[in-house]
Amino acid sequence: MRLLLNLIWFVLAGLWMAIGHLVAGVICCVLIVTIPFGLASFRIAAYALWPFGRTVVDRRDAGLGSLLGNIIWLVFAGWWLTLVHLVTGALLCLTIIGIPLGVANFKLIPVSLMPLGKEIVDIH
């Protein structure tokens, strides 16, 4: 079932979400100082491609640097990424088939809002 949901997700929303996160990651890496944000954006892109069967957990070694970086991320990128995920999730929830995809979009909100200090792991 996860494979089927991931394939439907990939076609309807995942590819476009991942491309957006990849573009943001490349821009962040080009600016050198924002490379940690670029790496976080690449992690989110990989998660946005294939979200079913994976989840986000807090890293134990995250500290004050992650908190400060998340505040900066929230101001410059987190709020609009969250808005995109909210709108896309709401639109997907308009149909019965789209409800699991909308829920997956809502699952991406916490990591899009504050990605530093998080790790994406398999559910198993």
pLDDT of 37-77, one tens digit each?
999 999 999 999 999 999 988 888 878 888 899 999 898 88
| Number of domains forming the structure of the chain | 1
Question: What pLDDT does 61 receive?
Answer: 84
3-state secondary structure of 62: coil
What is the pTM assigned to this prediction? Answer: 0.84
Per residue in 25-34, pLDDT tens? 999 899 888 8
Boundaries of domain holding 59: 2-122
Residue 124 has pLDDT above 80, yes or no: no
The CA–CA distances, whole Å, from 86 to 10, 91, 104, 107 equal 17, 9, 11, 10
Phi, psi for residue 66 in degrees, rounded to 5: -65, -40
